[in-house]
Chains A and B, each alone.
Chain A
Amino acid sequence: QSALTQPPSASGSPGQSVTISCTGTSSDVGSYNYVSWYQHHPGKAPKLMLYEVTKRPSGVPDRFSGSKSGNTASLTVSGLQAEDEADYYCSSYAGSNNLVFGGGTKLTVL
């Protein structure tokens, strides 16, 4: 299965909001509410930021929110902070016990 499509980069100034999209197909994002988002600082372990489209694990700030419309899921980071600068990856269940990831988006805080 093909990777989900994410923009390669996104940016915003401190305090601003930025939204990262994750586009799949009717076989993955469009069919299941099992979309997750991960934050990855290079050299560190990826961190789960959102799961099941909108749920935040304990400890994740509510500045991070998720949504989904059709075959596209989105991650919004509000009130950007310097420590939010990282790579962000989405993933979606794709049926038949398969999981697909996005290509990743490098978020830069200007």
Chain B
Amino acid sequence: QVTLKESGPALVKPTQTLTLTCTFSGFSLRSSGMRVGWIRQPPGKALEWLARIDWDDDKFHSTSLKTRLTISKDTSKNQVVLIMTNMDPADTATYYCARMVPGGAWCFDYWGQGTLVTVSS
């Protein structure tokens, strides 16, 4: 059974750095073809893809947020970490981590429940 769960602070101040952790089970990021991504959804707005990391440590980031994002993995802990710098109130959103369909399709077959991050002073 594949599960993912996001964890991190619910509240961050403007200019601070956000660190979110995705802890997953039911698959391994050591396995060929496995990929995990992050997606966010500001209140009342569209989903936005943020970043992805692959089993071979390839990393891809949203063009618009590339300079602010770092994604990494700890395969021994079954975790993927997303770091976003210089947080702004516009970054207030529910942040999801999700597993991508193994094998190349650009879509997510299992999602976490999401974690709401509010950026406010």
Contact = CB atoms under 8 A, between A and B. Distances in A.
Interface of A: 1, 3, 32, 34, 36, 38, 43-48, 51-52, 57, 89, 91-93, 96-104
Contacts of B47: 38, 46, 89, 91, 101-102, 104
Contact of A45 (B46, B63, B106, B113): B113
A89 B112 contact: no
A50 B110 CA distance: 13
B49 A48 contact: no
Contacts of A96: 63
B114 A45 contact: yes
A101 B50 CA distance: 11
Interface residues of B, number: 25
B49 A99 contact: yes
Interface string B50-67: 001000000010111000
A45 B39 CA distance: 12
